Structure 1
Amino acid sequence: MENAPVEQVKGRMIGYFGKDLRRINHALKVHSLAVHIGSMEGLPDAELILLETAALLHDIGIKEAELRYQSAAAHYQEELGPGVALELLADMELSAGFRERLAFLIGHHHSYARIDGLDFQILVEADFLVNIFEDGMEPPAVRSIREKYFRTRTGAALCDAMFGNG
């Protein structure tokens, strides 16, 4: 097992966001759904730990983006998130491969054409499930997202169960 205790990462994410409960809760919801999808899809343990870490930290660049650019735009999150995440985890014993993949996932989690593995696919699906609810998306938008971006059986079933499939 990669030495990235998920609960330690969770605590660091919460400490970083502080009183920004909306962002903390978003990360916790994405994490929970990512764990469920990853487990149901048979993601190996090492990849599941990486996915959990990425799910907890996927939006970690928002705070810095708002400070630097006065914007939480996706491209700023992707630009700044990897550096913030790696700094938060700097004292943890993580392999270079783990750090590299984590930075890639955080740095591209809104770049859907870059999906290159099951871990990335699951992260995107979990984030969409949470965003659909949080943003109050209308059924036509949900259907479009479902058709375009959901590839796992578990993620698609969750989308249908949570938001309907009609």
Structure 2
Amino acid sequence: MTRQTTLARLMRAMIKYDGGDVPRIQHFVKVHDFARTIGVAEGLTDEELFVLEAAAILHDVGIHAAEAKYGNCTGRYQEELGPAEARKVLAETGGFDEAQTERICWLIAHHHTYTGVVSKDHRILLEADFLVNSFEDQVSKEGIIAFRENVFRSESAISMLNDMWGLSSLQENHNEQNN
């Protein structure tokens, strides 16, 4: 089975898992596409990209478990309960070794953690999720700029965010504030 076939099977499994919840399905499909685009642009290896794409598809897998257990799906609860749910979906899908599964689960357990971000795959997942959330959650222009300045580091993700929202670059914004 090729990696693309494995990811397609995982996408289908997650659509089934979230069956009837069209907004959540649309969300993870968009996050996956942004994560893949950024990952390719930022030069991830094939292995890194494969794991990132799987994590992007699964990143919100803990939402249903969090709602059932806690009555809400805050980021903290998603991070807590997501890895166990992800393991079930990954095992059902097949095609992931133990190291890949562990990294995917780690990313899911940190996809709302914005401090101490040192790895490309973690940062790209945060950026891709925000590219989608900035629209879906109708984040203010000020909120978008603040998130860009505090979290975004990937050149391609910054460029996409600026283009999406018609924002000036970080340097132009800095120059405007100092004039």
Name the TM tier (shorter chain).
over 0.9
Q: Which runs of 5+ in 2 are unaligned?
A: 169-179
- Measure how far apart 1:89 and its partner are: 1.2
Which residue of structure 2 lines up, in the alignment, with residue 126 of structure 1? 128
Which residue of structure 2 lines up, in the alignment, with residue 161 of structure 1? 163
Which residue of structure 1 lines up, in the alignment, with residue 86 of structure 2? 85
Distance 1:117 1:58 in 2: 16
Which residue of structure 1 lines up, in the alignment, with residue 140 of structure 2? 138
Distance 2:136 2:106 in 1: 25
Distance 1:140 1:3 in 2: 38
Q: Which runs of 5+ in 1 are unaligned?
A: none
Which residue of structure 2 lines up, in the alignment, with residue 94 of structure 1? 96
Quickly say closer, same or farther: Cα 1:57–1:122, change in 2 above 3 A: same
Quickly say closer, same or farther: Cα 1:4–1:76, change in 2 above 3 A: farther
Aligned length in residues: 166
Q: Is the counterpart of residue 147 in structure 1 residue 149 in structure 2?
A: yes
Contact 2:38 2:124 in 1 (8 A): yes
Q: Quote the sequence identity (%).
A: 42
Quickly say closer, same or farther: Cα 1:142–1:54, change in 2 above 3 A: same
Distance 2:105 2:144 in 1: 28
Distance 1:136 1:160 in 2: 15
- Measure how far apart 1:97 and its partner are: 1.2
- Secondary structure of residue in 2 paired with 1:72: coil
TM-score by length of 1: 0.95
